[in-house]
Amino acid sequence: MRMLERLLSDDCGSGSALLGDLRESYHVELSRRGPIGAVLWFWTETLVALWHYGKPRHVLGSLFREDRMESFALDLRQGVRMLWRAPGFTSLVIVTLALAIGATAAIYSVVAPVLIRPLPYPSPDRIVLLNERDANNAPENLGFRTIADIRSETRTLASIAVYGGWSATIGDHGEPEQLLGQKVSWNYFDVLGIRMGLGRGFTPEDDRPGNNNVVVLSYGLWQRRFGGDSAVIGRTIRLDDKPFRIAAVLPRTFENVIFPDAQIWRVLGYAVTQPAACRTCRHLNAVGRLRDGVSPAQAAAELNGISTRLARAFPDAYPTPGMFVDRLQHRVTESMRPALLAILSAAVLVLLIAAANVVNLQLARAIRRDSEFVIRIALGAGRSRLAQQLFAESLIVAGLAGVVGLILARVAVPYLVTRLPADLPRLSAIRVDGGAVAVIGAIVLSLAVIVGIAPVVVRRTRDVFTGALRGAGRLGDASTLRARRLIVISEVALALVLLSGAGLVARSIVRLLGVDTGFDPQHVLTLRLQSSGASYQADSSVFGYHDRVLAAVSRIPGVIQAGVANQLPLTGDLDTYGVSTPDGSLAKPALNPYADRYSVDGEFMRAMSIRVIAGRPFDRDDTGDSSRSVIVSLSLAERLWPGENAIGKHVTMGNATVRTVIGVAKDVRHHGLDTQTGLQFYLPERSWDSADNWAALVVRTDGNPAALADAVRTAVVAVDPSQPVARPESMQGIIRASTAQRQLALTLFAAFAALALVLAAAGIYGVLAGSVAERTREIGLRTALGATPRDVLLLVVRAGVAMALVGIAVGLGATALLTRYIHALLFGIPDTDALTLGAAAGLLLLTAVLACVLPALRAIRIDPMSAMRAE
């Protein structure tokens, strides 16, 4: 700002007014765009102002005077020559920096779509998700009537679209295939701000009951299944054996961050009069666009008011009034944010360590070049002139490292993408783009400055002279050695932070995988079943299909038990219903617990080894559609009837049917290994209102479940070849996949920690080797005076271990401060788990001792006679 003022205001009049205007607007932009946006805005404005208005030639001229440019070009040439003469040093520095730069750029590329880049829609910060509030004050889906009321009353939202999950089997144009998609109100893509690539898209007329057999295709689906034929618009295709008209194809660039797997969209076609559109039918989601200048908080305040009014008018439908309005970007990325931030910070730590290492090497090298510098000083070069030369050298090195780092990142990112958890938001948007190149550029420049200038800052001109006068034997002076020790100590401290982070995440994963899931995942194979189309309109045909599949699978040798359920634990499946007791044992019926519904067929509970701890499991008599038997989980039983025996109690789930508890089962971790809800109920699938067209087949085998996957799949397909069968997975694989986010963090933390460990060891080695060479004469004298090899060894090792210990102490302090930032990744251990931190410190100390070995051996081998003769 000060510089800007000097540049602009000396020209009295409008320059000063422009500055005032910038200031004034900055406050407005701050409230409109947030701090980062406002700063970006400010700098863009300033640069344009300087370009147009200031005197660009003037400004640039003062930075790059002609003579200085010329001497800098000379320095660059000289630098290339110097570096060429020290190929070992040069390549070591380049490799070190390139690894760190590559790692940082790769991680930046992975996190940018989630943490930095805005969503790929126009004015993305105005797109918000709306939710009702449930009894636990958590976001809840909405009923259609509620959305309709909000739509007609809101003043803060310009538009609201409705969406829900949908899937259909496409039969024509190739093999039958299960397509994932969404059912959406006609304006869904308008709210996101997306124009169709081909065709007109949905119209309000489509969005009516009976009119709604209209679909929009994703670009990928259109290419893959329809060969990119533009004549498909208006054509009719069959989905689940019903005709649908293709209204449009989305553009290739469209990225559906709300549901990335969706390939096809149908129009919702609800009317408020339909039973499924009721207020308590909370199965829909809503996305809205804020009016210009409205904040999510303002919209939330208004919607809370509407919700409160609705709750007064319909008290039964809204037990806990209130609404959530969250930015889409926030909601889409919030689950991954802690892991990504932690990984990005780890990469930055590695970069710091690498920079420290290179500064260290540079200091050591600068000392050896004292005579060169002295000659230049004698010839009239000042400190800044020397700094310029060193800067030129380090710019070459850092620039080369940047190029290599960019190549490394380009190679690493596609590989990283294959290793990332499949549910990472915006996975498809990850690439090494201009942003990553800009980040590399910034890193290269700052490295060049730090690495280049360090020797000039650290060393006094006097040291350079004494160094030069003492000749080549002299390898260090007090100020340089002190600086080098400090650098090594900070390297050790940073390495300890990384090691501890890796250790804490590793131990958390071990703890997580050791959690009692409530079922036995070993030897269990799972497979997704589907039953859709004209032949499965009747519920009985779906049940029949399940029975036939179970019979076919049971005949396979090696299968012990097989069962079917509408959902599986730990897969993200979410099918919950409110549970209540008809006799009113719950004090507050409005706060009914929600429990996971398992509609089961065959031996599901036995195949999963979900133990029934009281009462009895289902038997043959329970399988009929008139059965009213239900098994509840222990936690659900205790919630409904605290301290009582649940067996024989009456209960309702989601609808009016009164059921009788026949058994109590162990809690299952359904929503995640780290979430302990454990509220489930199990009922025979025929006794539920409707059949589930999606189901999971669970098979307990007598050995490796993967070995039976093909046989099971073949058997299922043979039952009905028209139905798609998907995702054969072992239950253990599912459990592992549920820890994918932490596994990713662990892999990267461990890789970074290993790199940090090597760099820290190299730093210790470098300082000790330098100090041994420096003290050759002293050590020779000591040996001559009777010091044993053991004494000499201790002398060196003590110096190394002392640095390591100080570094470890600092690092432990830093770790204690920093681990709370990875709290979200930890499970079952305290943030500062003493065992982990101790182990990390021990490993680092061991590494430090190993790094001492070579310099120590060299010290022992010093021959007193030749050491004395040397000077």
Partner 1 sequence: MDPITELEGLLLLAVLQLGADAYGVTIRDEVDRRGQRKLTLGTIYKTLDRLESRGLLAARQGEPTPERGGKAKRFYSVTSTGRRAIRASFRTIRRMAAGLDLGLDTP
Annotate each residue in 580-619 with x if it binds partner 1 (CB under 8 A) or - if it does not, as one string: ----------------------------------------
DSSP state of 567: -
For residue 20, the minimal CB distance to partner 1 (Å) is: 3
Other CB atoms within 10 A of residue 209 CB: 12
d(C-alpha 157, C-alpha 292), whole Å: 9
How many residues are given for the chain? 871
For residue 57, the minimal CB distance to partner 1 (Å) is: 15
- Does 625 sit near partner 1 (CB under 8 A)? no
Partners of residue 598 on adjacent β-strands: 682
For residue 298, the minimal CB distance to partner 1 (Å) is: 21
For residue 136, the minimal CB distance to partner 1 (Å) is: 45
Report the residue number, 59 or 450, with the smaller CB distance to partner 1.
59
Q: Interface with partner 1 by CB under 8 A: which range of 12-20, 170-178, 411-419, 766-774?
A: 12-20
Ramachandran class of 569: left when φ > 0, alpha when ψ lies in -120 to 50, beta otherwise: beta
Report the residue number, 42 or 682, with the smaller CB distance to partner 1.
42
Task: Give residue for tokens 């029975």.
Answer: 547
d(C-alpha 350, C-alpha 346), whole Å: 6
d(C-alpha 534, C-alpha 754), whole Å: 58
For residue 194, the minimal CB distance to partner 1 (Å) is: 22
Report the residue number, 14 or 62, with the smaller CB distance to partner 1.
14
Task: Note whether 162 and 184 are within 8 A (CB).
Answer: yes
For residue 41, the minimal CB distance to partner 1 (Å) is: 9
Report the residue number, 32 or 383, with the smaller CB distance to partner 1.
32
- Does 50 sit near partner 1 (CB under 8 A)? yes
Task: Note whether 390 and 422 are within 8 A (CB).
Answer: no
* Alpha carbon separation from 550 to 523, 698, 700, 728 (Å, rounded): 17, 9, 12, 15
Binders of partner 1 among 14-43, rule CB under 8 A? 14-25, 27
d(C-alpha 363, C-alpha 340), whole Å: 35
Binding partner 1 by CB under 8 A: which of 51, 280, 407, 802? 51
Binding partner 1 by CB under 8 A: which of 3, 31, 34, 48? 48
* Alpha carbon separation from 403 to 399, 409, 470, 723 (Å, rounded): 6, 10, 39, 52
Binders of partner 1 among 651-670, rule CB under 8 A? none
Report the residue number, 19 or 366, with the smaller CB distance to partner 1.
19
| Position 441, amino acid | G
Report the residue number, 48 or 868, with the smaller CB distance to partner 1.
48
d(C-alpha 340, C-alpha 110), whole Å: 8
Report the residue number, 20 or 830, with the smaller CB distance to partner 1.
20
* Alpha carbon separation from 443 to 105, 113, 324 (Å, rounded): 10, 20, 40
Report the residue number, 28 or 613, with the smaller CB distance to partner 1.
28
Report the residue number, 49 or 358, with the smaller CB distance to partner 1.
49
Other CB atoms within 10 A of residue 621 CB: 9
Per residue in 313-339, is it b (16+ CB within 10 Å) or e — as a string? eeeebbbebbbbbbbbbebbbeebebb
Q: Interface with partner 1 by CB under 8 A: which range of 7-15, 86-94, 175-183, 378-386?
A: 7-15
Partners of residue 696 on adjacent β-strands: 528, 565
Binding partner 1 by CB under 8 A: which of 2, 35, 36, 52? 52
In the three-class reduction of DSSP (H, G, I as helix; E, B as strand; rest coil), residue 389 is classed as helix
Which residue stretches of 53-194 are H helix?
56-63, 66-85, 87-111, 144-153, 188-192
For residue 36, the minimal CB distance to partner 1 (Å) is: 19
Task: Note whether 713 and 728 are within 8 A (CB).
Answer: yes
Binders of partner 1 among 271-330, rule CB under 8 A? none
Binding partner 1 by CB under 8 A: which of 3, 10, 43, 44? 44
For residue 515, the minimal CB distance to partner 1 (Å) is: 54
Q: Interface with partner 1 by CB under 8 A: which range of 9-17, 436-444, 737-745, 816-824?
A: 9-17
d(C-alpha 864, C-alpha 438), whole Å: 55
Report the residue number, 18 or 112, with the smaller CB distance to partner 1.
18
Would you call 619 exposed, middle or buried from its count of C-beta atoms within 10 A (0-12, 13-18, 19+)?
exposed
For residue 25, the minimal CB distance to partner 1 (Å) is: 6
The secondary structure of 197-208 as a DSSP string is SEE----TTTSS
Report the residue number, 46 or 96, with the smaller CB distance to partner 1.
46
Report the residue number, 7 or 217, with the smaller CB distance to partner 1.
7
For residue 200, the minimal CB distance to partner 1 (Å) is: 23
Report the residue number, 19 or 237, with the smaller CB distance to partner 1.
19
Nearest to 712 by CA among 724, 698, 723: 698
d(C-alpha 513, C-alpha 673), whole Å: 8
Task: Note whether 728 and 526 are within 8 A (CB).
Answer: yes
d(C-alpha 29, C-alpha 450), whole Å: 34
Nearest to 803 by CA among 854, 768, 838: 768
| Position 596, amino acid | D
Task: Note whether 655 and 604 are within 8 A (CB).
Answer: no
d(C-alpha 70, C-alpha 77), whole Å: 11
Q: How many residues at the interface with partner 1, by CB under 8 A?
A: 23
For residue 5, the minimal CB distance to partner 1 (Å) is: 9
* Alpha carbon separation from 581 to 591, 641, 701 (Å, rounded): 12, 9, 38
Binding partner 1 by CB under 8 A: which of 13, 227, 557, 703? 13
Binders of partner 1 among 157-216, rule CB under 8 A? none
Nearest to 100 by CA among 450, 508, 417: 450
The secondary structure of 110-132 as a DSSP string is HHIIIIISPPSSSSGGGEEEEEE
For residue 26, the minimal CB distance to partner 1 (Å) is: 9
- Does 574 sit near partner 1 (CB under 8 A)? no
Report the residue number, 48 or 438, with the smaller CB distance to partner 1.
48
For residue 43, the minimal CB distance to partner 1 (Å) is: 11
Report the residue number, 45 or 241, with the smaller CB distance to partner 1.
45
Report the residue number, 49 or 735, with the smaller CB distance to partner 1.
49
Binding partner 1 by CB under 8 A: which of 7, 38, 49, 439? 49
Binding partner 1 by CB under 8 A: which of 32, 45, 190, 558? 45
d(C-alpha 242, C-alpha 545), whole Å: 20
For residue 55, the minimal CB distance to partner 1 (Å) is: 12
Binding partner 1 by CB under 8 A: which of 53, 219, 314, 577? 53
For residue 210, the minimal CB distance to partner 1 (Å) is: 37
Q: Interface with partner 1 by CB under 8 A: which range of 8-16, 295-303, 485-493, 839-847?
A: 8-16
For residue 4, the minimal CB distance to partner 1 (Å) is: 11
In the three-class reduction of DSSP (H, G, I as helix; E, B as strand; rest coil), residue 816 is classed as helix
For residue 28, the minimal CB distance to partner 1 (Å) is: 8
For residue 124, the minimal CB distance to partner 1 (Å) is: 18
Nearest to 91 by CA among 421, 538, 400, 390: 400
Q: Interface with partner 1 by CB under 8 A: which range of 48-56, 132-140, 377-385, 651-659?
A: 48-56
Report the residue number, 10 or 871, with the smaller CB distance to partner 1.
10
Report the residue number, 22 or 764, with the smaller CB distance to partner 1.
22
Q: Could you list the residues that contact partner 1 (CB under 8 A)?
A: 13-25, 27, 44-46, 48-53
